[in-house]
Structure 1
Amino acid sequence: MDAAASGTTISEELAEEAESQNLLTLGIEEEYLLVDAVEPRGVEAVEQVLDHVPAEYSESVQHEYFRTQIEVASPPQLELSGLHAAMKELRGVVAGAAEQAGARLVAIGAGPAAGPAARLVDKPRYHQMRARFGDLSPGQGMCGTHVHVSIPDRESGIRVLNHLRPWLPVFQAASANSPLYNGRDTGYASWRSMLWERWPTVGPTPQLDSFEHYEELVRDLQASGAMLDEGMLYWYARLSAAYPTVEIRMGDVTPSLDDAMLLAALARGLVATLLRDIGEGAPAPDVPHPLLMAAHWRAAKDGLEGQLLDLATREPRPAWRLMRQLFDYVQPELERHGDLEMVTVLMGRLRAHGTGAARQRAILGRDGTVADVVDWLARTTRGEA
């Protein structure tokens, strides 16, 4: 919930390499829940965990809103294999630090078990948020994934945001990983999405005329009191305030790093494809805001295991059909960026095992408990399941 940071600043060498090949760089942020070593409830251990994180990783690991949460951010990468290696290392380092602090690191969208409401991290900004907005973020915390894709300039970024709007429910569905809350199944694949929408600036990115229009909206929203600063612009896609990137706030953090890499690669492929379309003069799709809201609701409800609203035909369709449509649409850019082979494999794996929400429910369906779900999540977050 803090201002976005996609790891360390991009090096001049990486920027020059990307520009020379007309390729886009990629970064990812993940938020995690810290849970008790034995019980499945959240535990306020972030300060102790950070104490155990080696100093060389300090720029990539930081606080989140609650003391039960922690966040990592990768350095920008050009190759998907490099991003995978960086995130695997960060997950392992922070999981190890959590265990040293008597906790477990869990990649899940919302606290699955009942427990006391978590206290805020002691930062002035967070206290200001609580004072103004009250208890809009209940329980033990909400954990998401944010992907940063480089853009040539901010005006190009604005046009990309306009073209992204109908695709973002697909990412939300594919990342669904919070069916449980307070020890029960909510009936939603992503209950975090429903909790998150209570904040006044959460929702689909509006149609934007220009970067000047974007800045005007940011100023007006701050003046209205709906957000303290630009870091609280919680649209599903936005321009990064700190980096020359489009930030796609795609949904729940995924338990499997493979799934995170799949969605990050598809996001880069989509931005690159949209930049090509924009260069060829393609207009942004005209999607009414109420239909976008309905599509995001359906994504949160069903995940990939049910129906999604096809915003081109305005009819429900099997979610996996739209996922495949996204893959087909961006395939040339996946190939150009060197991601096609890995993404094809990862698509097959996601199709075989389902979203995090589906896998949690499968454990419960085998007479498992919430504790069993959290045990599996902790192993998977570490890369052991």
Structure 2
Amino acid sequence: MTSADALRARFDEPDELGYGIEEELFLVDHETLDELPLAREVHERADGDPRFKLELMAAQLEIVTPPSPDVETAVAALAVARRDLAAVAEPIGRLMSAGAHPTAPELSVLTDDPRYQHTLADYGERARRQLVSGLHLHISLGGADRTLAVYNALRSHLPEIAALAANAPFHAGRDTGLASIRPTIAVNLRRQGVPPQIPSWEWFADALEWGRVSDTVPDTRRWWFELRLHAAYGTLELRAPDAQASIADVHGVAAFAFGLVESLAARHDAGEDLPVHDTWRIDENRWSAMRDGVEGTLADLETGERVPTRELLRSRLPELHPATEALIEANGAMRARAAGLDGAAAYLADAYTSAPAAAP
């Protein structure tokens, strides 16, 4: 059992801000750009490099950056890791990054690994639908009370971040009509979407213990919501963004999301009681973000008044990174649609190692 005191101590450990990025991506055939379920072979060629991990799906890998002192360093580390992994993979296949592969079939091959047997046994065929990729952003806030306050407040902003990062309009060879199909696939597994408010560390400890005893959440890694308190790392982990086509797009999403977290932390430190909203209201905005991306509107969680998403994004921070501004104008979903269903995979594969996020 993990006690409330142990959780507090874990999140109190870091004494300064720290940043990390995890990126899930697809291995594809050099010529056809179809999914290629040979990620294990690529991982073996990486010869134990700790930056590269296997994932649930056999055509999927994950890059994990080391803890970094700032956003720029974390993004730079990811850029190097992208290039290094592409070189390792080159004899086998290419890499691409998006919320969903645009043309892969709905059912895919799972990685043959003991740690995924629980998922396969629990979900059966639904586990084979999970060829989707996310961009996971970690930040250590240097204090348990600060982290919990920011967690509860950041829930309200998940739709904004998801709209900015929407990058999955195509799936199984069709236009889904959504900016991101990924949440509708992920929801086939439990504990997805907007997480519950966590009123105290005691509540969280009780929730984790119930999950352990019931074997529904045997460890904290299965707390799969779009935002979670990562008890193993002592970080706040944001899981709402789709994986991004280019490193520039990653930078745009990370700069906005981390900037928003820093802003909320500063407001908490100044004595402000950060607003916390009902999950169902946030869920309504999450649907709008999934459907329309940056081209839609989101509802004010207090008044219900609808505001253009672009306007709302620009209002959140006093200054936006140029890569963030570029995504507000045309995010990944819009660029993929500009490439068309037949050209989307080539666009994504070409963008993977490119520095700018140029429109196709």
Secondary structure in structure 1 of the residue aligned to 2:240: strand
Paired letter, 1:78: P
Deviations 1:340-361 (A, max 9, x none): xxx5322332244x11111010
Structure 1 residues 153 and 207: CA distance shift in structure 2, 3 A: same
TM norm structure 2:
0.89
The range that moved more, 287-296 or 109-118, is 109-118
* Partner of residue 338, structure 1: none
Written as runs of structure 1 = structure 2, the 5 A alignment for 1:131-210 is 131-139=121-129, 141-210=131-200
Secondary structure in structure 2 of the residue aligned to 1:31: strand
Distance 1:379 1:37 in 2: 11
**Contact (CA 8 Å) 1:29, 1:145: kept in 2 or not?**
yes
* Partner of residue 111, structure 1: 101
Secondary structure in structure 1 of the residue aligned to 2:294: coil
* Partner of residue 241, structure 1: 231
Structure 1 residues 171 and 351: CA distance shift in structure 2, 3 A: closer
Structure 1 residues 313 and 45: CA distance shift in structure 2, 3 A: same
Written as runs of structure 1 = structure 2, the 5 A alignment for 1:303-322 is 303-322=293-312
Q: Does 1:93 align with 2:84?
A: yes
Structure 1 residues 236 and 114: CA distance shift in structure 2, 3 A: closer
How far the C-alpha of 1:140 sits from its partner, in A, is 6.3
Distance 1:308 1:224 in 2: 37
How far the C-alpha of 1:224 sits from its partner, in A, is 4.1
Q: Which of 42, 56, 62 is the equivalent residue of 1:65?
A: 56
Structure 1 residues 39 and 228: CA distance shift in structure 2, 3 A: farther
Deviations 1:288-316 (A, max 9, x none): 22111111111111111222233243232
The aligned length equals: 343
Paired letter, 1:247: E
* Partner of residue 272, structure 1: 262
How far the C-alpha of 1:121 sits from its partner, in A, is 1.4
Paired letter, 1:28: I
Distance 2:210 2:123 in 1: 17
Distance 2:295 2:202 in 1: 40
How far the C-alpha of 1:72 sits from its partner, in A, is 0.3
* Partner of residue 33, structure 2: 40
**Contact (CA 8 Å) 1:27, 1:74: kept in 2 or not?**
yes
Distance 1:170 1:245 in 2: 21
Paired letter, 1:84: V
**Contact (CA 8 Å) 1:150, 1:244: kept in 2 or not?**
yes
Paired letter, 2:65: S
Paired letter, 1:303: G
Q: Does 1:52 align with 2:29?
A: no
Q: Does 1:348 align with 2:325?
A: yes
Distance 1:78 1:114 in 2: 37
**Contact (CA 8 Å) 2:152, 2:276: kept in 1 or not?**
no
**Contact (CA 8 Å) 1:68, 1:140: kept in 2 or not?**
no
The range that moved more, 277-286 or 92-101, is 277-286
Distance 2:58 2:251 in 1: 27
Q: Which consecutive residues of structure 2, in runs of 5 or more, have no partner in the other structure?
A: 1-13
* Partner of residue 6, structure 2: none
Root-mean-square deviation over aligned CA pairs: 2.0
Q: Which of 301, 317, 341 is the equivalent residue of 1:327?
A: 317
Q: Does 1:31 align with 2:24?
A: yes
Distance 1:348 1:290 in 2: 29
Distance 1:251 1:243 in 2: 20
Q: Does 1:377 align with 2:348?
A: yes
Distance 1:214 1:196 in 2: 23
Structure 1 residues 140 and 273: CA distance shift in structure 2, 3 A: closer
**Contact (CA 8 Å) 2:101, 2:345: kept in 1 or not?**
no
Distance 1:171 1:207 in 2: 18
Identity of aligned residues (%): 31
* Partner of residue 78, structure 1: 69
Secondary structure in structure 2 of the residue aligned to 1:170: helix
TM norm structure 1:
0.83
Secondary structure in structure 1 of the residue aligned to 2:206: helix
Paired letter, 2:344: V
Paired letter, 1:90: A
Distance 1:286 1:160 in 2: 10
Q: Which consecutive residues of structure 1, in runs of 5 or more, have no partner in the other structure?
A: 1-14, 332-342
